[in-house]
């Protein structure tokens, strides 16, 4: 039979065979899920695949990459008043030299509100978005917080540096355009 699961559901096999829908269709995800399943079937582990923290990239002329929850999914799970969204529009150095429009280069960090602000999602549009997201994806496995993010020293001048500098919340209504260094 067919069974639609949410992003946190576990994988199961048995009579009847269960078909899982709605998961990221990425080869590395399938390989990781398969290895975890094999370990469970062999009795070596009980670890389940965490589909929430699978990084993915859309390889278009201006790349989009994300890891974790969308703002909308975070609101559904935690409540709008219990999340904080930090964001920024930035201009990559390579766009300055080439005089390219950077109005679509955008960063969004979705966090739990209060405390250290556990990071729930990271969304990045800009050059090398996949490389940027891959670098931050591991921190999700370690429970990264907004405090960790802003305590990180960025590599200058890189697009990833803009992620660790993000400080304007959507809730504030302030202009999120990055200016200067």
- Which residues belong to the active site? 156
Residue 21 sits at the vertex; the CA angle it makes with 20 and 23, to the nearest 5 degrees, is: 100
Calpha distance 48→36 (Å, rounded): 7
Phi, psi of 37 (to 5 degrees): -60, -45
DSSP annotation string for 80-145: GGGEEEEEEE---HHHHHHT---TT-EEEEEEESSTT-BEEEEEEESTTHHHHHHHHHHHHHTT-B
Q: Which two tokens stand for residue 176?
A: 């999120």
Q: Which residues contact 35 (CB under 8 A, 6 or more apart)?
A: none
Per this entry, what is the length of the chain?
A: 181
């Amino acid at each position: 039979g067919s069974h639609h699961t949410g992003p946190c559901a576990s994988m199961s096999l048995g009579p009847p065979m269960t078909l899982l829908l709605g998961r990221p269709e990425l080869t590395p995800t399938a390989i990781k899920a398969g290895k975890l399943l094999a370990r469970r079937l062999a009795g070596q582990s009980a670890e389940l695949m965490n589909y929430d923290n699978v990084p993915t990239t859309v390889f278009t002329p201006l790349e989009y990459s994300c890891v974790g929850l969308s703002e909308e999914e975070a609101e559904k799970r935690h409540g709008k008043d219990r999340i904080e969204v930090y964001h920024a529009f930035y201009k990559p150095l390579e766009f300055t030299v080439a005089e390219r429009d950077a109005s679509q280069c955008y960063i969004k960090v979705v966090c739990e509100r209060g405390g250290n602000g556990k990071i729930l999602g990271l969304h990045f549009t800009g050059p090398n978005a996949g490389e940027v997201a891959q670098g931050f994806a591991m921190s999700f496995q370690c429970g990264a917080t907004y405090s960790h993010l802003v305590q990180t020293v960025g590599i200058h001048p890189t697009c990833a540096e803009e992620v660790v500098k993000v400080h304007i919340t959507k809730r504030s209504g302030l202009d999120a355009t990055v200016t200067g260094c």
